Chains A and B, each alone.
Chain A
Amino acid sequence: MSDGSADMADIRRVLAGDVDAFGGLVERYRDHVLRIVRRHVPPDRVEETAQDAMVRAYQSLAGFRQAESFPRWLAAITVRTCYDFWRRRYRRREVVLSQLSEAHRQWLEKVQAEDAGDDWQALSDRAEAREILEAAMARLSAKDRMVIELVHLEERPVAEAAKLLGWSRTNVKVRAFRARRRLHQIILEGMP
């Protein structure tokens, strides 16, 4: 990341026709974009989606307003690119609804047993946790998936999630509430 003046200088050069100046922005913000994309798309699609986000940012650069922060503007474009990724995947029915394996059931059983203890933190870091989360997320819609990731899993304020997704606050609030309930329901159904 950098101070805004370097960003603005590069943005002005790009808008004046110097395409190569966008390289400076890519250099400074690629980790920022990758961190967001890794949270929202499968590992094998991170690179492609991050590239899509950068290309989209370049094409939308004329719409960037100097008053806003470039990293925030880029974050919104990246989140929307991730959302579009899931929309395409759901439309082509590429989302695999995987069944929970015995290892997953055992993991859920341990979490249940450790409900009052502290070992749940270690359990959360295991691969089973990510796999169960992914299996449950696959049963949600693209909209529910994005909203639950931003509001409940990343604990972003509703206003920020609304800005990132370009939706109304009411829409985000209602959808986040329903999606959380649905996610819990899906996971509890898989519990032993």
Chain B
Amino acid sequence: MKRKSISPDRLDQVLRRAHRAKAELPAGSLPIQVVMARIRSRDQDGLHTPWGSFETLVWRLAPATGALALALLGIWMHINLIGDAELFQIFYAEPQMLSLLNF
């Protein structure tokens, strides 16, 4: 009994014709008014430009950036920003300052 013997090339030809026939089906239309109405309703977004994409990204990241800035501000207010060299100078010149700085 002959089973599953269709050649791959013939199968491709059959499928190609079936696929091409899809383009000839009278499916869908594209009325200009409908397209233009959709475009006008979205026109506040404007045309996408590279700068526009960057701007969108900046606004999307704005909440996270603001939160990060606040967190850094909090950390900066609570940390001692005296550099090692300056600390050494203070310690060397006025050892009694140590107690005042609470080291």
Contact = CB atoms under 8 A, between A and B. Distances in A.
Interface of B, secondary structure class, is: helix
Interface residues of B, number: 42
Contacts of B60: none
B93 interface: no
A34 B22 CA distance: 11
Contact of B48 (A22, A33, A62, A154): A62
Nearest to B40: A19
B21 A55 contact: no
Given A115-B10, A188-B4, A46 B27 contact: yes
Contacts, number: 140
Interface residues of A, number: 53
B89 interface: no
B28 A37 contact: yes
14 contacts: A19-B36, A23-B32, A38-B23, A39-B19, A46-B28, A59-B47, A59-B48, A60-B48, A111-B11, A115-B10, A125-B18, A133-B18, A149-B19, A153-B19
